[in-house]
Amino acid sequence: MRPGMMDGRRFPPPWSAELQPNYYVVRDADGQQIAYVYYSNDPERRSAAKLLSKDEVRRIAANIAKAQN
């Protein structure tokens, strides 16, 4: 078994949420991408396409990262 896999988990903790241009990526301890959450800084585009704001996406990504427990 690989280190970090002793408990049988496929995505070992801790998970982190990292800011990228126009999205956040949630990664596990090995760097495996678990989730991408996209945002737009343009209010008109957000409204027309029902996209999320950067702050909304940051909170969602942080909550996904906390869900590892």
Print pLDDT tens along the chain (69 aa): 455 445 667 999 999 999 999 999 999 999 999 999 999 999 998 888 889 999 999 999 999 999 986
3-state secondary structure of 23: strand
CA distances to 26, 27, 45, 63 from 36, in Å = 6, 9, 19, 13
HSE, CB side, 13 Å, CA atoms: give it for residue 51: 16
**pLDDT for res 7:** 60
For the full predicted model, state whether its pTM sits above 0.75. yes
**pLDDT for res 38:** 96
